[in-house]
Amino acid sequence: MRKVKVAAIQMRCTEAIDDNIRKAERFVRRAAGEGAQIILLQELFETLYFCQMEKPEFYRYAKELQENRAVRSFQAVAKELGVVLPVSFYERKNNARYNSVAILDADGTILGVYRKSHIPDGPGYEEKFYFNPGDTGFKVWDTRYGKIGVGICWDQWFPEAARCMTLMGAELLLYPTAIGSEPNHPGLDSKDHWQRCMIGHAAANLVPVLAANRVGTEEADSSAVTFYGSSFIADAHGNKLAEASRTEETVLTAEFDLDSLEAQRAGWGIFRDRRPELYRALLTSDGVVRG
């Protein structure tokens, strides 16, 4: 029996990077105090969500992995508390810039980096201006407490990403997120749709899903986004075990027996009965694979 307790953190961010890191650390310590062993922070928590507007001066936020303040700080925290921490950061690598997550194991070791695969572009979410498409492919990390797959925000809308990570052995799917109101569609509220997509990944793959979103209204020149929180943890059948409100800063926790979940996946047969040879339409628009 391999039991693991997980946590998702939901918080507001400010313009002060050091303040955001200190606040995130307080929440991580609170989660660890509640017994959490794998703790998920939200997307790009070091800063305000700078992607609302196309402003070249924000390129300066991008840092090499070993130069990033949050990564360095949380390496020490992970080692001290014995917790696994996926840390979202704006990564510079040579002349490219990525929306990335560094996976810190429970001894503070950096297991590696995942770079966001799907990059959105639209009013309030101008990410293609800031980020190269990720070049790592989907990854699964064998941490002290279990195998985790991590997608970043827009990745969570793609069932292929969740299925790939599960086929690679992920026992938990984690999604750091920054999503809220749509400046170009003032009447649109995507919260329920957003949750249902990830709940579907949990149910279809029989793996728990954690989503950590930010809260609060953030303004940038003529743009403003109100992040709707609603972070949650779902079990392997898609039941929400914990859910935050739209406005609170909080820590959510849940516990899972990974061995029991592995037995359930085997028993359901959804991976045994897959027919990859019939899925050619996933590779090309007309289903024909060309050399």
What stretches of the chain adopt beta strand conformation (E)? Answer: 3-10, 38-40, 85-93, 96-104, 110-115, 140-143, 146-150, 172-176, 209-212, 215-220, 223-228, 232-234, 240-243, 250-257
Specify whether the CB–CB gap between 46 and 70 falls below 8 A. Answer: yes
Residue 128 appears among annotated catalytic residues = no
Return the amino acid letter for 167.
L
- Say how many C-beta atoms besides its own lie within 10 A of residue 137's C-beta: 10
Going by their DSSP bridges, the two strands 85-93 and 96-104 should be labelled as: antiparallel
In the set 13, 153, 164, 197, the catalytic residue is 153
Tokens standing for residue 78: 């992970």
In the set 116, 127, 139, 171, the catalytic residue is 116
Residue 116 appears among annotated catalytic residues = yes
- Say how many C-beta atoms besides its own lie within 10 A of residue 192's C-beta: 9
How remote is the C-alpha of 47 from its chain's centroid? 16
Return the amino acid letter for 276.
P
Residue 43 appears among annotated catalytic residues = yes
In the three-class reduction of DSSP (H, G, I as helix; E, B as strand; rest coil), residue 148 is classed as strand
In the set 5, 43, 46, 164, the catalytic residue is 43
Residues with active-site annotation? 43, 116, 153
